[in-house]
Amino acid sequence: MNADALLLMLERNGFDFFTGVPCSYLKNLCRILQTRDSTFHQPAPREDIALGLAAGAYMGGKLPVVYMQNSGLGYSLEVLASLHLIYGIPVLILLTYRGLGEDAGWEEHQVMGRHTEDILRTFGIRYSELDDQFDEDHLRDIRKFLVREQNPYCLLVDKEAIT
């Protein structure tokens, strides 16, 4: 999916605050976000800080999106468990799914790649893939879930998903 089209789709569906730690899989999206003002996009130095910023944005009336690598998911589990899941703070997480297939990358990516979905299931975090079939109807369903269930939702993003 084209990064401009994805961002437009997210905005049309009410997502109005972005934060996270850049990943090369998201370089085109991050390049666009960097042109936006700090009320719309606030980069973070670490994934747990991004989730904290997203929680504050949500409490301020925003519908947040956090972007990070799946290796950052491991680093963020405490914040997800002790803040977002306990207090019902929804956030859409664009989670780059590194460590799979022929482009498995470094060893640390391979370990997280093998266990990403297990971790999400263990923590009760719903997820789906941002693939060729992803469309506005799917995004509307995710938004409804976020608002209704007051829980995080992850979109798994592979290397080729965002152009």
d(CA 11, CA 142): 14
pTM here? 0.95
The answer to whether residue 163 sits within a structural domain is no
The residue whose two tokens read 């925003």 is: 62
The domain spanning residue 17 has which CATH number? 3.40.50.970
Please report whether residue 17 resides in a domain. yes
Domain range enclosing 142: 3-64+72-130+137-157
The beta strand positions in 56-161, using DSSP E, are: 64-69, 92-96, 126-129, 153-157
The confidence band for 112, taking pLDDT boundaries of 50, 70 and 90, is confident
Contacts of 36 (CB under 8 A, 6+ apart): 18
The model's pLDDT over 42-87, given as tens digits with 9 standing for 90+, comes to 999 999 999 999 999 999 999 999 999 998 998 899 999 999 999 9
The answer to whether residue 162 sits within a structural domain is no
State the total domains in the chain. 1
